[in-house]
Amino acid sequence: MRTLAIVGTGLIGTSIGLAMSRHGTAVHLLDRDASAARTAAALGAGVTDAPAGPVDLAVIAVPPGAVAGVLAQQCARGLARSYTDVASVKALPAREVSGSISDASCYVGGHPMAGRERSGPLAARADLFEGRPWVLTPSSEVAQTALNHVLEPVAQCGAVPLVMDCEGHDRAVALTSHAPHVVASLMAARLEQSPQDALRLVGQGLRDATRIAGGDAHLWADILRSNAEPVARVLREVEKDLATLLIALEELAEDGGPPGPDMRPMVDLLERGVAGLRGIRPAPARRTAGRRPFRVPIDEKPGELSRLLDTIAEHGVGIDDVITGVDAEQDRMTVEFAVPAISAQQLHRLLTERGWQAEDTSVPSQRHRQPSRVDQLWEEEVVQETRAASLPSLP
């Protein structure tokens, strides 16, 4: 790709400009706000003067509602041979584009799945898209050249192209991005008139839970408008769950009743929440198959367990993968965990060196003993029970 035009030098447009300029592509920056374009240029994202002839590809980096209009405008003046956009909604722009330009074969919808709470060119980074999915939604009549023109910046930004249909994409982002933004805003809005002494108690949990609500309000209103139906469908379900929970809470508030049947709605929602998180664990934290279960009896001198935990941590065993128990026969404390099969042997040797008698419970045991609980360890419930049994208190 030799020449690229970017229309809309906000966070995304400017970041693409920075990445492509580094790859030697001649990038032309356009924005209705001249100082935004000049800011992007001064950052090194490209130049602000118009291209002499049509460029290979124009990236329309404006909000969803503005895509079709800007695209038609630029097609009319022949800005580029191919066009794409980066809007976080795809069905609406696709509909509007097919109505606004004569030949839609030069347009491929796109959505790089990256961003920051800050917006504007100053927040741009050349590495913003590295390793992130970049959704493309080519229509049936799209030209091969156009598709290839779009795939090149995706690759050069270090992103992973992912082809989806518009509706599938819009339902997906409604669930994973747009509805979560609304839910975070609903909570953040409660903090507006909160008393000072309440704010003294704010911790990282609340900050993380509401961080995404910091995005630009008008931009996000346009995103929600453009994806109204899928977002509304998710939020209707949220509303149902909330209504059920509120009924239970207000009954409890009245009679202050003891735990019992009226606890179910709470437990049910909270458990579904825990279950929902399993699917979105960051890859490293995710439990993988093909692990080997270990069982290590330890002496109960202070710090002994910490020493063992540190040792197995070196082999990627987190405390979430560990269960401590007491051997019924020998009344001895045992630590059970699982390690990636690949490092099982090495860890076994290391543990022996450091004075522990590790049992690989996946090989038949030398002596009779109750079946290892670690095989069930993948069942979060076991961990939950263990935790509940130890009656911890949380903030």
Contacting its own copies within 184-243 (CB under 8 A): 184-192, 194-195, 197-203, 205-225, 228-229, 231-232, 234-239, 241-243
Taking the complex as a whole, the smallest distance from the CB of residue 158 to its own copies amounts, in Å, to 15
Segment contacting its own copies by CB under 8 A, of 72-80, 151-159, 319-327, 346-354:
319-327
Segment contacting its own copies by CB under 8 A, of 270-278, 288-296, 343-351, 364-372:
270-278
Segment contacting its own copies by CB under 8 A, of 71-79, 100-108, 246-254, 287-295:
246-254
Phi-psi region of 355 (alpha: psi -120 to 50; beta: other; left: phi over 0): left
Q: Is 155 in the site for its own copies (CB under 8 A)?
A: no
Taking the complex as a whole, the smallest distance from the CB of residue 141 to its own copies amounts, in Å, to 23
Integer CA distances (angstroms), 54 to 96, 97, 107, 167, in order: 23, 20, 15, 31
Q: Is 293 in the site for its own copies (CB under 8 A)?
A: no
Q: Which of residues 52-71 bind its own copies (CB under 8 A)?
A: 61-66
Q: Residue from 155, 168, 288, 352 that binds its own copies (CB under 8 A)? A: 168
How many CB atoms neighbour CB 357 within 10 A? 10
Q: Is 329 in the site for its own copies (CB under 8 A)?
A: no
Cα(180)–Cα(186) distance, integer angstroms: 10
DSSP state letters, 19-39: HHHHTT-EEEEE-SSHHHHHH
Q: Is 50 in the site for its own copies (CB under 8 A)?
A: no
Report the residue number, 147 or 183, with the smaller CB distance to its own copies. 183
Cα(243)–Cα(238) distance, integer angstroms: 9
Q: Is 131 in the site for its own copies (CB under 8 A)?
A: no
Integer CA distances (angstroms), 351 to 235, 358, 360, in order: 51, 7, 12
Q: What's the full length of the chain, in residues?
A: 395
Q: Is 72 in the site for its own copies (CB under 8 A)?
A: no
Q: Is 154 in the site for its own copies (CB under 8 A)?
A: no
Q: Residue from 28, 111, 149, 292 that binds its own copies (CB under 8 A)? A: 111
Facing residues of 136 across strands?
Answer: 110, 163
Cα(57)–Cα(128) distance, integer angstroms: 20
Taking the complex as a whole, the smallest distance from the CB of residue 83 to its own copies amounts, in Å, to 14
Residue 99 structure tokens: 């109505």
Integer CA distances (angstroms), 114 to 70, 71, 117, in order: 22, 22, 10
Report the residue number, 31 or 56, with the smaller CB distance to its own copies. 31
Q: Residue from 1, 4, 12, 146 that binds its own copies (CB under 8 A)? A: 12
